[in-house]
Each structure stands twice: as structure tokens, then as C-alpha cells.
Structure 1
Amino acid sequence: MWAMQPALRPERTLITLVSRHSTALYSGMVPGLVAGLYNREACAIDLRRLCAWAGVTFVRAEITGVRAQERELLLAGRPALRFDRLSLDVGAVTAVGERASGAEGARAPSGAGGAGDSPEAWDLPMPVKPLESFLAWSEARGGDAPLRIRGGGAAAVELALAFRARGLPARLLLRGRDLRLGSSAANRAGERLLAEAGIPVERSVSPDAPADLACTGSRAPTWLAASGLPVDPGSGRVLTEASLAVLGQPALFAAGDCGQIAAAPRPPSGVWAVRAAPLLARNLRRSLEQPQRPLEAWRPQARALQLLGDGGWRGRDSRALALWGPLALGPSSWLWRWKHRIDRQFMARFQARAPMGASGSDAADAIACRGCGAKLAASPLAGALARLAGEEPGAGGVSPAAEDAALVTTTADGEPLLQSVDGFPALVDDPWLNGRLTALHACSDLWASGARVSSAQALVTVPEAAPAVQEELLLQTLAGVRSVLDPLGARLIGGHTLEARDGAGLVLGLTVNGLVPTDQPWPKGPLQPGDVLLLTRPIGSGVLFAAAMAGAARPEWVDAALEVMQRSQAPLVALLSAHGCRACTDITGFGLLGHLGEMLGGPNPVAGRAGSGPAPAAQVELAATAIPALAGALELLAQGLASSLAPANAAALALLEPEGPIRLVGPANAARRALLVDPQTCGPLLAALPQQQAPAALAAVRDAGFAEAAVIGRVLAG
């Protein structure tokens, strides 16, 4: 609602959505997904995209509890989030045995539940909720043995039919004698569907009987009750007023499957969850902006229509049942078409437009990238430095190649002390995650020099906002930085803060210091004949985040990229050193080709050193198909998408033969060539090693958790 009608959004408010997943599954289409009628993308709401559209910060994290009095939401592995208002809609998990409540098989949208409700906490059978873990289980399911489904509600019946449509035999295990579809007429219609599909129904089955899948009703995540919130004893659902405000907690709201109006309880259902949204949106705004006014009361409808599909198991048109109180209609194909249209129209509301009003390649051109994609292009940078040094560009002088970190001094123990500085406008809206990514990115300059990080200082620019909001942004940002420094034994020794003007957002810069436990830091180059080039992890973050800003990147691609980017490369320093590392750099804003050109020495167009300087003493043979790419990167590059810094980086393509000292070996289409100049945030290390050491070094790096590390080239005599 806030995305489609921005005027409804609370003003001057930092709004944050917290979810353990970057997508929310629409449960009404999940049986069709299991049956093969839909793909995953058709059933999933991209939460990052929706948040960007609505002007909301997205935080992917596991919720572990609420401290209501302190107004803090507790998260796993990171600081708590402060709030003025907290709206809980964290879904439900499958109930087992005596914990089951409500109608068996009741369905609702998946949520962002908390710790202790993951499938690992359950013995078999697999619970149908949370949906994400169930779907991963179902996708791997095969074989001829009947799938035993415990439960007799709508979810159990519909999933049995869905698995039947996929060619997997299924049987229902009922605790009692009858299905639980809401009425005798509905039960009879459900029995007919099951009989037609050849799905056996076993009745009066012991709760201890073996089963594969549990569709036995739902309960709220246990951390809600453990946090001291008022809950229904049977279901664990948070009890609320008719306004959806939690009883006795006016700063908290609860909706969907995790909440229940104390005076008007309804079973968990997606229908009531969706119907509550307009009132919830109005009351959240009113409670912030007009706290003296009473909140609106919701009077939910007494009944909810259920449309139950048969999965299309017969190989022709699917059919559906319509269930309304004691009434049952169908099954019929027109009811399925109606259900299909309703579901697709609902999902289409979340695909209405791309964030910032753009999509496709035009979006990437129109949106200035953040992270390392916001780095100044090489040409103005080199021109300014040349003039500062008293040189005129094109006059024949060649500036010396800059190392990744500068030598400050040598300690009394003989260890070189290095320093580097880095930073950029926030790559992601989550200030903690942005702090972590920026710290990892800055530290990589030291790791590329063979140093261990010892300390850092931060320069943080926060947007204009209320003091409490600025405090929270600063706390989360610095906590993200410390999440990198603390495990290294490094200290955050100080810094400076600024307030942005003219609507600018969060910006973080870091100065990092480190010691080299050898006589000399690793140089960036020049490369020597006989060296082998090892890349520690995939590249492609520039185009992925450019596409994400344009609403063109799949959420699973962004998730996978962030998993790679969040991994510290500090352990690789000792490994590369042990295997004779001769030169190293990190791949960042100038892309793989630009930074490889720096390692070669000599004229380098992307680094601004084109001209009459001496040619490099070596050449590089680069295996195009050996260069690992992040999931989705090559696909997006093939569509013509690119980071806003990529066109400037394309000058490095002149390094390729016949113009330059790098020969590309193997098939290299336009997407692979574009990958070479894609700017990276938290990019890999590129290390030059003796050829005989390369196999052992590659194995060690992969064993350290960098499974996609690869040898991508070799250095030949010039």
C-alpha cells in the first residue's frame, strides 16, 4: 500500500522490514508450484524490490525475540534494532501433536519467523511450514514409495493432489475419520477429488505412525511467547485489540498468522491477513502522527472463501473446489481458471513497476551505481594526480603504479606498517550490512599486500533525520564495521561523523592499518614470466547491483552475491604466503582487466597511464571461460545491463591483443568481455604464484571455503 500510495506512508520515519528471507512466498500458489504449474518466480514477492519501491529499508536477519519495554527487536548475530513502533507479521510454523490448533491445514503467507522454528529443530515428518524449507525438501523428493501426508485439511488435500500431478504417489493419514475442510459437503467433495486421483485415505491413524510430511495445523513462532507478549495458550498467537495493537502494548502491532484479535478470533488464513492490511497501514501512521486520536477498529468477516485446486493431475485442465462455510461448489475447471486469475492478479500488484520507475538497460543507464560502482572513473583521477605531481597528461611522463596500501613506517620489531583508505555511498540500505561490506572492502587492500589488519578509523556521513534515527544508523554502521574487525583482533580506534545535506544518504569511509609479518609487503607487480594467476572467488557484483537497482536482478542472485561478498578473505593471506605469493592485488572498481593491467606495469589505459612509457616485460594468457562469475552476472551482461562505471572501465579492453599485452584464450562472447571490466565491491584477490605451487595453493584456498577459486591465467615472457 505504501508503494502504490506513497501519501499513506508515515512521514519523516525510518521504516525497516526485517525478514529471514529476501522473498515472501504467496502460499495460495504453493500447491501449484509443487505440481509444476508455476515456477518459483511466479509465487515469490521480491522483498528488496518492494522495499525499494516503497522507500523502506530491507534487513535480512533472523529474529530471536522482542524486548518490548526497551523497544528493541533482537536479531541473531547482530545488534538489536530500536523501534518506536513494531508491526509483527511473522507467519506461523507447523504444529505437531497437542500443539496443533485451529483447522488442520489452514494456510497463510509465509513469514519471517524466528530462531528455533527451522526444520532442523523438528524430527520427521517434514513440517509444511516454514514454506521455504518444505519446498527445498519437496524439490528433492522422488522415488516410487508413497508419500505419507499427516493431516486432513485443505493444505494436506491440495498438496497430496499436487504431488500426484508431479507423478509421486501420495496417501493421507487422518487422526480421525473425516477430512477437515469445514463442512460435511466440503469433506465429501474433497473425498471425491482424492478418490478420482487414486490417493488412499487412512483413518484413525495413531499420531506416532510414521509419516513423511506434516500438514497438521499451525502455531505462532515460540519466541513471541518467550518474549513475554500476551499470547493465546493453544496457538501461541499474539493477542491484540480490534485495532491490531497488542494487548497492553500500544507500541506493538500484530497481524496475519502470528496475531489474533482477542475479542474476535479467526483461524489463520491468508484471506484475513490480506484484509487486515489497509487498517494496519492507517493505524501505524495514526499511532505515530496522531497518537491522541483513537485507532480504527477492524471487524473481520466471519467466513473466508477457500479455492482448492487439484494440481492438474489428469494431464488436462486443472479443477478447483470452492469452499464457503457449509457450502461446497465444484470441482470444476472454471473455478480453477477463476482461482488462477485471482492469484496472478494478486502477484501482479507486486510487479507493477520497477523501483525508481525504471527497468531493463535504460534503468542501468539512468541510475548511478553505489558501492565501488560509485568510484571516480580513471581518467579524471589520473589527470588530477598527474597535475598534482607536476606532470601534464600526454607529456610522456608515467606516474608510478600505486600499491594497494602505502608503507607508513617500520615497527621496532621490523614489521612494515601499511595504511589504506576506502569507502563509498551505501551499497545496501541495511546500515549494519553496509558497514560490514565496506570494512571487508577496505581491508582487502591490506590483505592484497600480505598484511594483517590491526586498526581502523571511520568517517560516517548520516542523512538528515531525527537524532534517534541518526543514532541508530551510526550504531548499526559501526557495529557492522566491528563485525569484521573484532574476529581479526583489530580495533576501531576513532573517526569522525558528518550530517549529509540535500537529501544525501549514508556514506562510510574507512582508514585501515595493518602489519606485514615479513620483511616486505607483497607488491602489486610487475608480473614475472612463469607466474600463475589465481582468482580467489567469482566476479560480477557491479552488474548485479546495477540490475538490482533497476529491479532486473533475481533475488536469489543478490542473496548469493551477498553471501560471497560477506566472507572475509583474511585467512587467505597466510595460505597464499605459504605457497610463495609473488604479487597480489584485489579486484575492485577498475574491474579484473584494469587491475591486471596494473600488475603488469607499463601503459594501462584504465589506470590513466596510456602513453609512451615502457612496455611491460611480460604478457598474460587469460583463460576467458576459467574466470568464475557470480550467479546471474553473465546473463545480465548478455542483456546489455552494466554498472555505471563499466563504460569508463572499458578502456582496459585495449590491453587485449593485438593492441596490448593480454591474450584472451578460449571463447569470449560479449558478456564475458564485459565481465572483465565490471567494477567489483568486496571483490576477490588476484595472486601471482610460482607455477609449481599453484595446484596446492588452489586446493588450500578451496578447502578454506572459497570453492569457486580458480587459476585463470599464466604469465609469459614479453
Structure 2
Amino acid sequence: MTADHLVLAGGGHSHALMLRRWAMRPQLRPAGLITLINRHSTTLYSGMVPGLIAGHYRHSEIAIDLRRLTDRAGVALIIAEITAVEAHHNRLLLAQRPPIHFQRISFDVGAETFNKGPYLERSQAALAMPIKPLEPALAWLEQQDSQVLLNDSTPLTVIGAGLAGVEVALALRHRWPKRPLNLQAHHGQPRPALKQALSKAAIVIVPSGTPLSGPALLCTGSQAPAWLATSGFPVDPLGRVRTTKTLQVINHPHCFAVGDCAVIDKAQRPAAGVWAVQAAKPLAQNLERLSRRQPTRPWQPQQLALQILGGQLSSGRFTAWAFWGNLIIGPHPWLWYWKEAIDRRFMGSFNELPSMSGVLKRQESMACRGCAAKLAEKPLNDALKQAGLGALGQQPEDAALIASTSSGDSLLQSVDGFPALISDPWLNGRLTTLHACSDLWASGAHVISAQAVITLPKVSSELQQELLVQTLKGIQSTLEPQGAKLIGGHTLEARSIPPQPINLGIQLTLSVNGKVASGRVPWSKGKLQSGDVLLLSRPIGSGVIFAAAMAGEAHPEDLDAALAQMTISQHNLLTALRSLEERHTGMQTIHACTDITGFGLLGHLGEMLSASNHQRHRAGLQPLRLLLEAAAIPSLQGALLLLKAGYSSTLAPANRRNWHLLNPSINGEAAPIEIALNDVTPGSEHHQALLELMVDPQTCGPLLLACSTKIASELLRDGPWQRIGQVQPM
């Protein structure tokens, strides 16, 4: 089978190195769809975790960016928690997500802290935090930092005196020079060579089973995640999946397993990063061979592995010990420098991927996705005029009123869609639907139904079915909480060559229908009133973040934060706004509303102002202008820094034509839209970044509304709204 679905479950060291191999040598990549599934968008290099705990490294220095890695390797990425695998049905189960089907799968899901030994009394288990998984443990240590700042003298105990426990204890001493620290050890632990260092570091060794007098960190060895033991795979006493020397699971040749969650049946080794690193190449070669219909080959791991344990001398200098079987060398500072050089070289190898840096800078561009794929405003309006539909562009509304029912309800309709923004088909279906629904929310309508047109890449029917299921489930995840239904649609097959990963070849368009209940009116863009306050529901800047991500220059945490905001439905805001209307019977609470999408904040403000002034001109009223507060415009984490660095979406240059709205007229009239800069220096780098932010195209962007000062005060008190300016007479 050459066009199948290979799933990489977990972003451990073996998988990360294999992805790097395919990024550097794409001709080796197996054919078909490859999907990496991991609980985070980054994976931590275990060899540098003690240094992170000690404060020697920053989190970003030891984190491998899986999004960047998968992008370069042509691999799809899904951020989700794996809960089970059904090997006989070729299904991987995920938390709060539909299952993923596969033809082949490789497991590199790491390990959890072993918790079945007689380490803790049941009554004290709540005091202990397992060191694995790492991310929750690191967050817990940050919480412990606050106790240290309060001069809390409660001791912290490290339970487990193997090499990992000793290294963590020494790292904690560097993190907290004065906090009481204990190391709970079995008889004969730790090794004599390490006891002296622990004593000099004022770390008290106490017998195993000593009652805890404060919080504890469990470093008691590792076991495979519990869900693997219930999978039906053969496992060892630690729950590790047993494999042959080809790294294929025994009796399951379509399944592979490596790293801390697996063990080769006839070459058993303890869990250690060195074997996970070494397993990457034979794993990749066997998957590549299967893709070419060739037999797999066995791998014999080395018998012993060099382990280097880092620590700190009483003088404050870093040192290290080297272990090779029963041989111990050190402590010596040069061993530390050697270890650090090895670790930094390993991490540096992930920065050697084919670079796209600068591709999206300044005038150079690469086609952006999501709502940034929208046609620019000028050619759109010109085409509408030539087609005799110019009125559609002059006073555009977010949704069209299509009918009124006999009971007085107003029925509205809108349509939206774009090429896949990300390689996760379920999440892409959800984001596209949220974006399409936003037009109805901005019109004050509750979504009741939708129809979808889904264009799938030209691949095998099995893969098309999987992509279609994931996309449909993503659409439903947005509609169902609103009480809306997907009532139909159409599917197409693309005629272009599929991209890598093929998930990016999906295009989704939705026709969304909504209802405004009898006695209420749909909201319009064009009914601004003098004195109105302008409110924005959430930050902007998604366009530049995704543009920089395509160049491999967005920080993982910034992209995570953007996606976390974008996946939140804003239909609850509509419910709250309509409830506000009920409390103010007889008063028009929301004067105008829109959502910020492809034309950016400035473009949509211009639409609101133009439509309002058009109506006021017909009524013989004085025109309006807008005054914005620069410091109040909220931006997504990292967006302004990227704009200052010169990154921008490919739609941004066309949107910049709306900067003319900020300029006074040649007759000396005030600018239609003015920005109060306050502490921002005109012409400065920050000023330019703000201007770019205002034309940045948004996917799943915020709602923007205008209301009276009284209503605004209620919304600012009870909701997520941010005041960004006000409406004034010209």
C-alpha cells in the first residue's frame, strides 16, 4: 500500500528525529498521509530538563517546535490527548475528538512516573507530584516558587534516589538555595560518589517511606501510559509495549513502538534517552522500506549507554558525573561543559531545517491561508461594479435578510469559507464554521442550520473518507452547542496536485442560516450614532502570527495562544447581548455591529463609517468620524513583535489602502478615523506596528459593536469587551 495513513502517536525523541530526517531529505518520506498526534505543540528534550528545573535554561531553549518540524516534513499535526488504541480496528481514540483511523502507526508517547511501589502511604499520595509527564510537573514547580518567595520553610522531598532523582534534587537546590530539601532513598542509595555532593548541597537523605511533612516530587522510575496496557498489545511488567528487533509490535506488524513506552523483547534496555535517539534511524528506515514494499530489517541497540548527570558544587559552579555501567567518572566541571555541548548540539540540529525565514518579510510573499486568502477589497468592488452589482459592495452587510416568517421571525443567511488554515482537518472544520457563523452573530442572529461544500484533495478514497469524517465532525462541534444542524451540502474532488500534507488540500465553504426572533431587529453595520462607544470582543493579530508560522518564525506559545482564542465560540456573546436588550425594553441597545475578518480592523471600521454616513447624508444629518485609542487596541500575544520584525499576511498590502482613512482631506477636514497615540511616538516602530495591526486580516476574529455609554459600562463590567474608541460628529 503506497497511499496509506501513517500515524505517529507521540512527539518523543525518536519521532522528532525521524521528522527532521524527512524534512532534510524529503525524498525518503513515506508516501501517503502522515499525521503526528501529540498533547502539546512542543516536546521537551529530556536531557536538558534538569537544567531547566535549575534555571540554567529557558523553556524555549529545550523545546522542539513540532509545528515547524511537521510543516517542513510535510506531515499533519494534531494537538490532542490520546486515550486508547484499538489495534484490531486501526483506530486511535482521542479526548473530546473523533477517532483517527490508520493503516500503520508508530508509538513514541513517552512514559509516566512509576507509582505502584511502596513509596507513599495512601493518605499522603495527594502531596506528591509525579515528575512525568513533564509539563504538569514543571507547572507545579512554578507554583512552589511562590511558596519560596513567601519564605516558607516547609521542606520539599524528592522521592526516589536513582540517577534521575539525584539530578532533580541537585537542580532544585540551584533553583532554591535556601529551601529545606530531602531525598527519600532505599537502603544503599544513592551511590556513594553522589552522597558527598548531596551533603554539600544540604540535601538531607531520609529512608524510603519516611512520612512527608510537605510537598514531594515523585522520581520513582517510569512506566508506559496506562492506556497502552489496555490496548491488547503484549506489554512487560512496566506496561511497555514489547516489540521485535524491527521495532514492530509482537503479533501486530503494522504497529511500531519506540522510546520509553516500548522495549525490544530480545534486547531489553532501561528507559533512557540515548536509546530513543538511536532508535530514530532504524525506525525511519523500516517505515520507509514498508512504503516501498520492502521487508523491514532488525536493529541491535548497544548494550550499555553513557549517562552524564549534571549538578552543582557548593561553590555554585556546575559539575557532572559520567556513568558507564558500574564505572563512575567525576565530578568534574569539564564533564558539565561536555554534556552542555552535546545537549545544545542536539537542539541546534532542529534549527538546521530548510529555512523559509524572510520569505514573508516586507514585499516578499507566500500565499497565506484562512481568511487571508480572501480577495482584496479593490478588485472585489471593481468586479461587482462591472457585473452590475455595485450596490453589494457599497453597503455590505454581514448577513442578508432573506425572509420573514408568519410569526414575525427574521431569517438571515451568510456564506463564508477558505482553504484549510491548518493541517488538522477536525480543527480546521471547527475554525471555518466558527468564522462563517460570526457573520450571523454580528447581525444579531442565532444560527439554526448550515450547508457545506467540501473540496477534498485527489487521493485514495480511504483517505478522502477519513478527511471528510474529520471535517464533518469539526463542523458539528461548532453547530451542535448552538442548537444548529448541518442539513446538507456537496462534496468535490480537487483537480490540482495535493500539497504536503494532503490535509491542506481541503477547502470548506459554508452557507449558514440564522434567525432573529419576532420583536427584535437584525443588527446593521451602518447605524452608528454620535457619542457611541466602540467595543471589541477580543484581541487581533492572527493574520501575522500564521504568516510568520509559515516562515517558521512564530513562537510556538504565540501560535498556541492564537489558536486557543480562535477555537472559542462567540455565540455566547450573542446570547448575552440579546439578554441585555431584554433588560432594556424599548431601548435600542446595540446601534451597529460587525465582525473583524479579512479586511482587518481598519477596513471593517471603514465599512461601518461609510454605511452610517451614507444613511445620514440621505437623512440630512451631520457625518460622523471615529476616534480610536492606540493603547486600547488589544493584540494577540506576539503579534506586535512580529509586525515590528517585518512579517505580514499576504492580504495586508491590499488592506493598507485603507490607511487613507487616517489622513485629513485636502480641504483640511478632519480624518474620518483618527488614532489618539498618547504615549506612542508618531512615526516610531511601535506606531508603524499599530498601523499594520489595524490592517491585519483576521480568521475567527472579534465582534465589534457600537452602543451608548450606559450600555458600554454594563458590557465592560460583565463581559470580555475592550473599549477601543468612540464615535464623534465630523
Fold shared by both chains (TM-score > 0.5): yes
The aligned counterpart of 1:687 is 705
Q: Is 2:167 the counterpart of 1:148?
A: no
> Which runs of structure 1 show a deviation greater than 6 angstroms over 4 or more consecutive aligned residues?
none
Q: Distance in 2 between matches of 1:338 and 1:140?
A: 32
Q: What is the total number of aligned residue pairs between the two structures? A: 669
Q: What does 1:240-259 align with in structure 2 at a 5 Å threshold?
A: 240-259=243-262
Contact 2:113 2:220 in 1 (8 A): yes
2:134 to 111, 131, 134: 131
Contact 1:66 1:74 in 2 (8 A): yes
- Give the direction of change, closer, same or farther, for the CA distance of 1:20–1:399 in structure 2 (3 Å limit): closer
The aligned counterpart of 1:174 is 184
Q: Mean Cα displacement is larger for which, 163-172 or 413-422? A: 163-172
The aligned counterpart of 1:221 is 225
Contact 2:452 2:490 in 1 (8 A): yes
Shift of 1:425: 0.8
Shift of 1:205: 3.8
Contact 1:371 1:681 in 2 (8 A): yes
SS at match of 1:619: strand
Q: Distance in 2 between matches of 1:503 and 1:63?
A: 32
Shift of 1:603: 10
Shift of 1:311: 4.6
Q: Which amino acid aligns with 1:260?
A: V
2:623 to 612, 617, 624: 617
Shift of 1:616: 7.6
Q: Is 2:336 the counterpart of 1:336?
A: yes
The aligned counterpart of 1:635 is 641
2:695 to 677, 697, 707: 677
Shift of 1:51: 0.2
Q: Mean Cα displacement is larger for which, 259-268 or 45-54? A: 259-268
- Give the direction of change, closer, same or farther, for the CA distance of 1:122–1:374 in structure 2 (3 Å limit): farther
The aligned counterpart of 1:38 is 57
The aligned counterpart of 1:586 is 595
Map Cα deviations across residues 111-141 of structure 1 (whole Å, 9 max, x no partner).
xxxxxxxxxx972211111111111112232
SS at match of 2:315: coil
Q: Is 2:101 the counterpart of 1:82?
A: yes
The aligned counterpart of 1:529 is 530
Map Cα deviations across residues 163-206 of structure 1 (whole Å, 9 max, x no partner).
211234353433422325xxxxxx22212221232222123444
Contact 2:64 2:347 in 1 (8 A): yes
The aligned counterpart of 1:63 is 82
1:500 to 483, 490, 494: 494
Shift of 1:387: 1.2
Shift of 1:548: 0.7
Q: Distance in 1 between matches of 2:396 and 2:130?
A: 57
Q: Is 2:724 the counterpart of 1:712?
A: yes
Contact 2:357 2:553 in 1 (8 A): no
The aligned counterpart of 1:194 is 198
Contact 1:31 1:311 in 2 (8 A): no
Q: Distance in 2 between matches of 1:49 and 1:313?
A: 40
Map Cα deviations across residues 349-404 of structure 1 (whole Å, 9 max, x no partner).
1111356x33475398332110011111111001001111276xxxxx99531100
Q: Distance in 2 between matches of 1:350 and 1:363?
A: 26
The aligned counterpart of 1:422 is 416
Contact 2:174 2:312 in 1 (8 A): yes
- Give the direction of change, closer, same or farther, for the CA distance of 1:596–1:122 in structure 2 (3 Å limit): farther
Map Cα deviations across residues 533-562 of structure 1 (whole Å, 9 max, x no partner).
110111100000001111111111111111
Q: Distance in 1 between matches of 2:466 and 2:602?
A: 39
- Give the direction of change, closer, same or farther, for the CA distance of 1:699–1:577 in structure 2 (3 Å limit): same
The aligned counterpart of 1:371 is 370
Q: Is 2:659 the counterpart of 1:658?
A: no
Q: Distance in 1 between matches of 2:49 and 2:314?
A: 15
2:267 to 257, 264, 272: 264
Q: Which amino acid aligns with 1:590?
A: F
Contact 1:364 1:550 in 2 (8 A): no
Contact 2:529 2:727 in 1 (8 A): yes
Q: Distance in 1 between matches of 2:128 and 2:246?
A: 37
Contact 2:200 2:314 in 1 (8 A): no
Shift of 1:50: 0.3
- Give the direction of change, closer, same or farther, for the CA distance of 1:581–1:139 in structure 2 (3 Å limit): same
Q: Is 2:40 the counterpart of 1:21?
A: yes
Q: Distance in 2 between matches of 1:94 and 1:463?
A: 42
Q: Distance in 2 between matches of 1:96 and 1:222?
A: 11
Q: Which amino acid aligns with 2:96?
A: G
Map Cα deviations across residues 625-683 of structure 1 (whole Å, 9 max, x no partner).
11111100111111111111111111111112424311111344211121111100000
Q: Distance in 1 between matches of 2:165 and 2:413?
A: 61
The aligned counterpart of 2:171 is 162
Q: Which amino acid aligns with 1:173?
A: L
Q: Which amino acid aligns with 2:441?
A: W
- Give the direction of change, closer, same or farther, for the CA distance of 1:35–1:516 in structure 2 (3 Å limit): same
CA RMSD of aligned residues (A): 2.4
The aligned counterpart of 2:7 is none
- Give the direction of change, closer, same or farther, for the CA distance of 1:99–1:258 in structure 2 (3 Å limit): farther
Q: What does 1:533-552 align with in structure 2 at a 5 Å threshold?
A: 533-552=534-553
2:466 to 461, 472, 477: 472
Contact 1:453 1:513 in 2 (8 A): yes
Map Cα deviations across residues 242-298 of structure 1 (whole Å, 9 max, x no partner).
1111111111111101011122211101011111111111112223431xx542112
- Give the direction of change, closer, same or farther, for the CA distance of 1:575–1:122 in structure 2 (3 Å limit): farther
Q: Which amino acid aligns with 1:553?
A: A
Structure 1, unaligned runs of 5 or more: 101-120, 181-186, 392-396, 608-613, 703-708
SS at match of 1:149: strand
The aligned counterpart of 2:9 is none
Q: Distance in 2 between matches of 1:155 and 1:690?
A: 61
Q: TM-score, normalised by structure 1?
A: 0.89
Q: Distance in 1 between matches of 2:458 and 2:125?
A: 46
SS at match of 2:509: strand
- Give the direction of change, closer, same or farther, for the CA distance of 1:313–1:376 in structure 2 (3 Å limit): farther
Identity of aligned residues (%): 52
- Give the direction of change, closer, same or farther, for the CA distance of 1:153–1:207 in structure 2 (3 Å limit): farther
Q: Distance in 1 between matches of 2:139 and 2:476?
A: 34
SS at match of 2:590: coil
Q: Distance in 2 between matches of 1:129 and 1:532?
A: 50
Structure 2, unaligned runs of 5 or more: 1-20, 499-504, 581-588, 615-619, 666-670, 681-686
SS at match of 1:480: helix
Q: Distance in 2 between matches of 1:551 and 1:99?
A: 47
SS at match of 2:89: coil
Q: Distance in 2 between matches of 1:561 and 1:409?
A: 37
Q: Distance in 2 between matches of 1:492 and 1:24?
A: 37
Q: TM-score, normalised by structure 2?
A: 0.88
Q: Distance in 1 between matches of 2:591 and 2:39?
A: 42
SS at match of 1:69: helix
